[in-house]
Amino acid sequence: RILFPALSASHVCMDPHADLYSVLGVAEEASEDELKRAFRRLSLAYHPDRWQAPQDKREAGERFLHVARAYGVLSDERKRMAYDELGPRDFEQGQQLLTAEVDSAAKLRARFEREKRRVAEQAYHGKLRMSGSLVVGASASDLLAPADPDLPLGERLWPHISSVSMSEDMALALSQRTALTCGCQLLTKGGLGGCTLRLGFKRQLGHHAFLHASASGLNGSPISAGLSASRRLSRHSNGAVSASLSSRGLTDVCLRASRQLTKHTLGEAVWLVGSGGDDGSFCLRLSRTGSRPPSASRLDLGEISARSRLAEALPK
């Protein structure tokens, strides 16, 4: 026995993307009266109250809702315009674009194509992320801690630019957990300059932990390798540790703790330990980010040299 003869025909399908005209069994140029007659016939045939067995009642209910949805779209002039223009697969997205300004199929198509391009751009930028920075360093050591502590303030050297660094970084997502990274940095300090190229691989270890391995070279110098690990400590706090290796061995270790202070403000504490403990620094930093247009600014609250204290604390 065929349970639902009307819906067993090939022109009717329960696929959510099926043609709605086929669901009602009418032509695409069907009039409003033809749509009404088809809906009445099918809704009476598949109304759940006409069936007694539980399985029959459930199947009839599903078909009744399918028929009602088809009629609800095709009986509405604006929804039918969107359906005829975009088809069954893009109709749901196009229906969200039906505003008062969209009063024709041409305007709907134009808005739909713009939205489609915007979504494609978001997907592209979601896989390829680029960021850049410009950092200008200034030294006030001659003003705050001159060689001669008794030197009058007016005769001390005022803060001066000590370094300039520009960097550009790119990350290409290979999957939800892995990404390739590439970066370039230009640095000038103390009258000298250099360029660094970095290539790396980033892997998400868990929901809140990441591992990043990279290799870099500076102006023909031997290639150095870096390894960093980061973890989310709380809802607003993160911690990270990184180390750099070269042909000379371990060159530096960096410990970093950060906390999101406000929606656009990040506070950081950075402790950098140099090779052998003969150089190092501790820095407190505030970073401010904006979204229109994307930008960021950073303020180093203070940097304390740990050269002498580290040399005394670490074993020779």
Q: Tell me the HSE value of 288 on the side-chain side, using a 13 A CA sphere.
A: 4
Residue 188 · residue 173 · CB < 8 Å: no
Eight-state DSSP code of residue 276:
G
Q: Which residues contact residue 179 at a Cβ distance below 8 angstroms, ignoring those fewer than 6 apart?
A: 171, 172, 173, 201, 202
Confidence (pLDDT) at 276: 56
Spatial distance between the Cα atoms of 116 and 107, rounded to a whole number of angstroms? 14
CA distance 272 to 270: 6
Question: What is the pLDDT at residue 309?
Answer: 42
**pLDDT value, residue 143:** 80
Of the chain, the percentage scoring pLDDT greater than 70 comes to 83
What is the per-residue pLDDT for 15?
62
**pLDDT at 3 > cutoff 60:** no
Segment 141-178, tens digit of pLDDT: 778 778 787 888 777 888 878 889 898 988 888 888 89
277 pLDDT more than 80: no
pLDDT band at 113 (very low <50, low <70, confident <90, very high): very high
Residue 303, pLDDT above cutoff 80: no
Tell me whether residue 179 is exposed, middle or buried, using C-beta atoms within 10 angstroms of its C-beta: 0 to 12, 13 to 18, 19 or more. Answer: buried
Cα(254)–Cα(272) distance, rounded to whole angstroms? 4
- pLDDT bin (cut points 50, 70, 90) of residue 219 is low
Alpha carbon distance 185, 183 (integer Å): 7
From CA 89, how far away is CA 77, in angstroms rounded? 19
Residues 6+ apart with CB under 8 A from 151: none
Residue 296, beta-bridge partner list:
289
Copy the structure tokens of residue 267: 């506070």
The arrangement of strands across the sheet holding 294-305 comes to 128-139, 160-173, 178-189, 192-204, 209-218, 224-232, 237-246, 249-260, 265-274, 280-291, 294-305
Q: What is the DSSP letter of 103?
A: -
Residue 79 backbone phi and psi in degrees, to 5: -65, -40
pLDDT tens figures, 14-69: 566 678 998 898 999 999 999 999 999 998 988 988 888 888 888 888 899 999 99
Please compute the mean of the pLDDT values over residues 229-243 and round it to a whole number: 91
